[in-house]
Amino acid sequence: MFIRRSKYECEKLIAKQRIETLERIICPDGHDYKKVGTKTVAFDTLFGNDLVHDVYVCSRCGKVRE
């Protein structure tokens, strides 16, 4: 089981590094995020304190960040 887990962790790390490399190729100067909306995550009906996350999209590559 340990061998499979370590192999999985290695593959996960390689995939993460590949994604970062491709992002640097597409957006070499960093992402240019623009706010496109909000996303409500949790409701608090008692006090009206809703948990809201802003949603951003990169104008160059289309990557979504919440």
pLDDT at 1 over 70: no
Question: Nearest to residue 65, comparing CAs of 23, 28, 25, 29?
Answer: 23
Q: What is the pLDDT of residues 3-59, one digit of tens each?
A: 788 889 999 999 999 998 988 888 888 888 999 998 888 877 677 677 888 999 988
Ranges of beta strands (E only) in the chain are 33-42, 51-58, 64-65
Output the pLDDT for position 45.
66
0.75 cut: is pTM over it? no
**pLDDT, position 44:** 72
Rg of the chain's alpha carbons, rounded to an integer?
Answer: 18
| Nearest Cα to Cα of residue 56 among 65, 47, 48 | 65
CB 62 within 8 A of CB 48: no
Kindly state the DSSP code that residue 48 receives in the 8-state scheme. Answer: -
